[in-house]
Amino acid sequence: MERLAIFDVDFTITSKETLIEFYRFIVGRYPGKIARLPQAAASGLFYKLGIHDEKAAKEMFLRYLTSFSEDEIRQLSKEFYEKVLISLLYSDGLDKIRELKAKGCRVILNSASPEFYLDHLYGIEGVDKVIGTRFLFENGRFPSKMVGPNNKGEEKVRRLYEYLDEEEIDLEGSYMFSDSMSDEPLLRLVGRPYLINYKRKDPKYPVLNWR
């Protein structure tokens, strides 16, 4: 049976949070978007205060994109990958992807970040599937509406099984890499779980330090 090598993205194979870096990239291209910073900051505050759940907070944060067409967002996402995202990738993470691909694993990136820009991570040699949080594009526009739940926790497991579509997989021989215990549903699914750059005491899983 085939084995999987599953990787979270933010702070697992990247050194920074991609959602924030995408906003910074957009502001660099369109300085007027800095006017949306209070709304973006408020989205995080509302989540911390329990006013918004993660879905509502992320939809609120991404409203700065509603003035762009779908084609513009697709092009900006491509430029973000080429000019920013590539530079954020840990070389150790890329080495691990290549190593496990060479060993016959199917490499899957499974992240809560938006799929519309994560899709460009197919440009990484060895990546077979990218799963992210899905957002709606409607009539060529971006209404900042999430399609389904935020891809986090148990939703990552559901999306993985949705993709696998009842294929027989050697989960005991499979790998999962994440910086956070929020990914424990995926970490406990496989036989070879690892935490990346994890600093808390008494980690439940083996820790790897990547740069």
pLDDT in tens, 97-135: 999 999 999 999 999 999 999 999 999 999 999 999 999
Residue 62 sits at the vertex; the CA angle it makes with 60 and 68, to the nearest 5 degrees, is 130
β-bridge partners, 114? 133
For 30-81, what is each residue's pLDDT tens digit?
998 888 776 777 787 676 778 778 999 999 999 999 999 999 999 999 999 9
Each domain of the chain, given as residue ranges in start order, spans 4-208
Contact 112, 151 (CB under 8 A): yes
Separation of alpha carbons 159 and 188, rounded Å: 16
pTM: 0.95
In CATH terms, 4-208 corresponds, of 3.40.50.2300, 3.90.1150.10, 1.20.1080.10, 3.40.50.1000, to 3.40.50.1000
- Secondary structure of residue 176 in the 3-state scheme: strand
Q: Annotate 156-170 with b (16+ C-beta within 10 A) or e (fewer).
A: beebbeeeeeeeebe
Q: Cα–Cα distances in Å, from 50 out to 46, 54, 56, 111, 133?
A: 6, 9, 11, 22, 21
Q: In one letter, which amino acid is 15?
A: S
Query: Residue 37 has what pLDDT?
Result: 73
Q: Is 115 exposed, middle or buried (0-12, 13-18, 19+ CB in 10 A)?
A: middle
What average pLDDT does the structure give for the chain? 95
Per residue in 168-178, pLDDT tens? Answer: 999 999 999 99
How many percent of the chain have pLDDT more than 90?
89
Which whole number is the average pLDDT over 17-38? 91
Helix (H) or strand (E) holding 130: strand 127-135
Of 149, 158, 155, the C-alpha closest to 55 is 149
Please answer whether residues 112 and 181 qualify as being in contact, where contact means their C-beta atoms are separated by less than 8 angstroms: no
pLDDT at 160 over 90: yes
CA–CA separation, 18 and 14 (whole Å): 8
